[in-house]
Amino acid sequence: MHQVEQLRSEAYDSENLEHEQKLLELWKLLMPETPLASRISKQWQEIGFQGDDPKTDFRGMGMLGLENLLYFARAYNDAAKHVLLHSMHPTLGYTYAIVGINLTALAVNLLRSGAAKTHFYNQVAQHKQNFSTLEDFHKLYCYLFFEFDRFWMDSSPRNIMDFREVYQAFEITKLEALHNENTIFKTNLVVESV
């Protein structure tokens, strides 16, 4: 919880070389065939940021938002690109990065409220660990993002204006699942083709 909160409260700083390198790595992992023309560019909208400079989109979740997006793209690259492809759908599309940051907020809320205890407890027991790690939190996030994408596509929303309604329904399904003491969200994000 402390590590998650520390990252969440750390603001994205474009003067910080490490922050900038992570942001550029995110682009390279998600768009390997498309070079980024410049650091501030409309191209960021292709991966679901709102404007020309992604730093403004991290306000609410700070570096945790970027670290989650980056972890998903590093650890489950095929799944991340699969989800990104869905987000670009002409009618069912959504803003990948912004949705990802919203899902960081959901993961944080599940952690803070104690709702995610069931998942973390079962995960620790299954893997014979002593405690959960920051990586376990990142894996929870990846699971949520992959599952949200599936839930969104299955919901057949009329357009992005249905986001809040679909997001809330998704959140309810995850909260209900966590009421079962045997729940563990497995991050085996396998895609048949990207």
pLDDT tens, position by position, for the chain (194 residues)?
888 899 999 999 999 999 999 999 999 999 999 999 999 999 999 999 999 999 999 999 999 999 999 999 999 999 999 999 999 998 889 999 999 999 999 999 888 887 777 655 656 556 666 666 778 889 889 989 999 999 999 998 988 889 999 999 999 888 887 766 655 556 665 555 44
C-alpha separations of 101 from 65, 67, 86, 176 in Å: 5, 10, 17, 22
**Total residues belonging to the chain:** 194
What six digits make up the tokens of 133?
């790690």
Instruction: Name the helix (H) or strand (E) containing 49.
Output: none
- For residues 154 and 92, give the distance between their C-alpha atoms in angstroms, rounded to a whole number: 10
Strands (E) located in the chain:
none
**Minimal CA–CA distance to 112: which of 38, 61, 59?**
61
If we measure between CA atoms, which residue out of 171, 180, 187, 173 comes closest to residue 109? 171
Torsion angle (degrees, nearest 10) of CA 123, 129, 130, 136: -50
Q: Rounded to whole angstroms, how far apart are CA atoms 187 and 136?
A: 10
The span from the CA of 32 to the CA of 48, in Å, is 16
Provide the sign of the torsion angle of the four alpha carbons 153, 169, 5, 53, taken in this order: positive
* Residue 136 pLDDT: 83
Domain boundaries, the chain: 2-178
Chain centroid to CA 52 = 20
CA distance linking residue 97 with residue 57, whole number of Å: 9
Given this model, what pLDDT does residue 185 score? 59
Amino acid, single-letter form, for residue 22: K
Count CB-CB contacts under 10 A for residue 87: 21
Per-residue pLDDT at 193: 45
